[in-house]
Amino acid sequence: MSIRPFRDIIRKKTKIINVGKVKIGGNNPISVQSMTNTLTKDVKATIKQINEIEEAGADIVRVSCPDKDSTKALKEIKKFTNLPIVADIHFHYERAIEAATNGADCLRINPGNIGDKKKINEVIKAAKDNNCSIRVGVNAGSLEKDILENFKEPCPEALVESAMRNIRILEDQNFQNLKVSVKSSDVFLSIGAYRKLSERIKYPLHIGITEAGSYLPGTIKSSIGFGTLLLEGIGDTIRVSLSDDPVKEVKVGNEILKSLNLRNRGVKIISCPSCARQAFQVIDTVKILEEKLSHIKTPITLSIIGCVVNGPGEAAQTDIGITGGGKGNNMFYLSGVQIEKVLTKNMIKKVVDEVEKKVSELEKSR
């Protein structure tokens, strides 16, 4: 059972590009990205983290390639991972060439930082030869000196000017297999830059609030920034940037998309904050269910409400629901219909079993 949004989001039409097997832009699903924080040359640790990121629901992963050992490691990493890999390159044109040759599906560069025209052309040739896309990645913290001097400080116009400059460098060499980002740690600056850039180009946009901070403040800043842009139809792929485990970035990214009904993956739990009316411990129950159902990939909705005030109404809108009742008897709902009463001590097992049963039915019907 899906809940139809009151307002359909109309996405801005952008050019479609490929990052490995993932299509970005157009009407394709908005993809979720993260970035490893291991040393890329530590192949074993990097493979482990990429696979954890994939399991959490990422579509694409980025790895930093600051040296030759890192770009060399890409060839081995690709053998044991499934996600398309974006190689993060700064300044060193040889690292970009090596990354493309060793299996990177996309290069994150600013062509203007790579060097002279000859070096840029070599990078573009390597990208073309290896079917490798490019992300022009503009950051408010590393704007070109002349642009910063001209605009006096980072501002939306400065970020867009940097992006357009780097796009032109690629277009002059007949390279258009690209996506663009204009990130800042400031929510308003990021929103302003993406709005202006969206009006000027048709390339897909990678959106993000960079260096957003630790888990809680970073999640809030990202949710505000992403939500504003996505509601306006801006954005084709997202990366939540947290000073935390990359797996959390993926989970937050997917939850943002879920909340806007832009993409559904796994169990969407609707739960109350709990109060004196609750007939069971809602908070503990939700935490346990999140853990036990974290492996579910099929979209399904679940309501966990502690009392009968809002419970029946919420249960009517979800695939499976529990509403708290008196004396430890809680009402179980299936597809919005009351089915039976369940004792609190049996409730979690009942929900898990029914979710897995429902998922199995949904998968068989496809």
Question: Domain range holding 116?
Answer: 17-259
* Domain shared by 28 and 52, yes or no: yes
Average pLDDT in the 12-25 region? Answer: 97
Dist CA 184 CA 361 (whole Å): 44
Residue 222 and residue 307 in one domain = no
Q: pLDDT band for position 117 (50/70/90)? A: confident
Return the residue matching tokens 């924080």. 37
- The predicted-structure confidence for 330-366, as pLDDT tens digits, reads as follows 999 999 999 999 999 999 999 999 999 999 998 888 7
> Do 28 and 49 belong together in one domain?
yes
Judgement on whether residues 315 and 346 belong to the same structural domain of the protein: yes
The conformational region for residue 152 under phi > 0 = left, psi -120 to 50 = alpha, else beta, is left
Are 61 and 131 found together in one domain? Answer: yes
> How much is the pTM?
0.90
Q: Is residue 235 part of a domain?
A: yes
Q: What is the pLDDT of residue 252?
A: 96
pLDDT confidence tier of residue 292, bands split at 50, 70 and 90: very high
Q: Supply the CATH number for residue 311's domain.
A: 3.30.413.10
Q: How many domains does the chain have?
A: 2
Unique residue bearing structure tokens 């203007």: 112
C-beta of residue 328 within 8 angstroms of C-beta of residue 344: yes
Radius of gyration of the chain (CA): 23
Residues 21 and 113 in one domain: yes
What is the C-alpha separation between 202 and 273, in angstroms, rounded?
42
- Whether residues 144 and 243 fall in one domain: yes
Reading the block at residue 107, the tokens are: 């290069």
pLDDT tier for residue 2 given thresholds of 50, 70 and 90: very low
Q: Which helix (H) or strand (E) holds 327?
A: none
Do residues 227 and 126 share a domain? yes
The dihedral sign for the CA sequence 256, 257, 261, 265? negative
Residue 181: other Cβ atoms inside 10 A: 24
Cross-strand pairs, 85:
61
Answer whether residue 11 is part of any domain.
Answer: no
240 close to 222: Cβ distance less than 8 angstroms: yes
**Domain final residue, candidates 259, 279, 309:** 259
- The predicted model gives 105-114 an average pLDDT of 85
Cβ neighbours for 199, distance < 8 A, ≥ 6 positions apart: none
Q: Is residue 10 domain-resident?
A: no
Residues 203 and 277 grouped into a single domain:
no
Same domain, 117 and 224: yes
The verdict on 302 and 221 lying in the same domain is: no
Are residues 311 and 177 both part of a single domain?
Answer: no
Of the ranges 106-115, 148-157, 247-256, 319-328, which one carries the lowest mean pLDDT score?
106-115
Rounded mean pLDDT of 309-317? 90
Distance CA 231, CA 151 (A): 29
Q: Give the residue with greater pLDDT, 7 vs 314.
A: 314
Of 213, 230, 259, the domain-final residue: 259
What pLDDT score does 8 carry?
Answer: 73
Q: Which of 98-107, 302-311, 357-366 bottoms out in mean pLDDT, i.e. has the lowest?
A: 357-366
What per-residue confidence (pLDDT) applies to 264? 84
Q: Does residue 5 surpass a pLDDT of 70?
A: no
52 lies in a domain? yes
For residue 263, give the nearest of 22, 20, 13, 27 by alpha carbon: 27
Residue 311 lies in a domain: yes
Domain boundary among the residues 259, 286, 308 is at: 259
The band of 7, judged by pLDDT with boundaries at 50, 70 and 90, is: low
- In 3D space, the residue among 303, 305, 309 whose CA is nearest the CA of residue 270 turns out to be 303
